[in-house]
Amino acid sequence: MKMNLRQIEVFRAVMLTGSISGASKLLYVSQPAISRLLAHTEQRLGLTLFLRTKGRLHPTPEARRLLSEVNAVYEGVERVNEIAEDLAANRTGSLRISCSPNLGQTVLPRAIAGFRRAHPAVRVVVRTQIPVNMLRGLISGQADLAVSNMPLTHPNLDSRLLVKNPIVALIPAGHRLSTRSSVRPSDLAGEDLIGYGPDVPFGLLVHEVFGREGSQPDMRVQVEQAHVARALAQAGAGIALVDAMTVFGQDWPDMVAVPVRTKVNASVQIFHVQTEPLSRLALAFVDTLTAIMKR
């Protein structure tokens, strides 16, 4: 049997709050009504969604799996509501941007500020996401475009290169390598390096920088995102390997960004769905972003 929207709403409220009373307060509905609807939902689905122990609810594995799909439904509902609000308020349009977390802390804020000055009535929604979620957002229509320094691979996507985005080493001022115009990967051997795990997309690029497996350095500190590596380098935890856009437009007196001599780069690209060409607003934003990156 199928769940209706009300049952989905109640189920999600219970999962978010962890209790019947919490869901009751969240939805402004009585606790008995929540309990009845939840019991009816379990009966209708033929599934036990919650184990009741000493007056507390504990979600079953089936409930947790169901929640991921329910959240996807809510994201779609949010998109419908955003569009309805735009229409009701006579806004001239909206732009939904997905971007890599490091870009969301450096170049994107500047581009959005410039875009907003030219288009003050446009609603801009920004989501910082990992590549797999960026791809999902584009394909599902939750984002108009994605700005990523990692490739997004799908037959229905178009891409446009913005900048090559080389790899740099963030080196403490005063370090023996800090005055170099560039460093070779071999120059970093034996240094305390801040790197990335093998399952992190940017980590694959860093692995490629150092070439053969035998020449891979021992990364004593591992993170998942370049902007976290940058923060650790600022704190003195070691030398961080990041892409140039992670330090774009920034100046730290105690740290120097030295280019790494390698053909490997974290190219920044714009992605969008082939069947949905970029709108005039999206194209205007891309022009603003491109101009800032090329300064």
The 10s digit of each residue's pLDDT in 45-99 is 888 998 988 778 888 999 899 888 888 888 888 878 877 776 555 456 789 999 9
Domain positions in the chain: 5-60, 91-164+268-293, 167-259
CATH number, span 5-60: 1.10.10.10
pLDDT tens-digit series, residues 201-233: 888 888 888 885 457 788 888 998 888 998 899
Q: What is the mean pLDDT of residues 130-152?
A: 92
Q: Dig out the tokens for 141 from the structure.
A: 């229509």
Q: Taking residues 258-283, what's their average pLDDT?
A: 91
In this predicted structure, what is the pLDDT of residue 289?
A: 95
d(CA 266, CA 201): 10
Q: Compute the average pLDDT of residues 2-21.
A: 87
Q: What is the Cα–Cα distance from 190 to 247, expressed in whole angstroms?
A: 24
DSSP category for residue 185:
G
- What residue has token string 């390598």? 177
Query: Domain spanning 91-164+268-293 has what CATH number?
Result: 3.40.190.10
Largest CA distance in the chain: 70
Mean pLDDT, range 219-248, rounded to an integer: 89
Q: Within 10 Å of residue 141's Cβ, how many Cβ atoms?
A: 13
At residue 212, the pLDDT reads 57
When pLDDT is averaged across residues 144-172 and rounded to a whole number, the result is 93
Distances (CA, A) of 41 to 15, 52, 53, 62, 191: 14, 15, 19, 13, 59
The model carries a pTM of 0.66
Assigned architecture for domain 167-259: 3-Layer(aba) Sandwich (3.40)
> Which residue is it, tokens 């170049």?
107
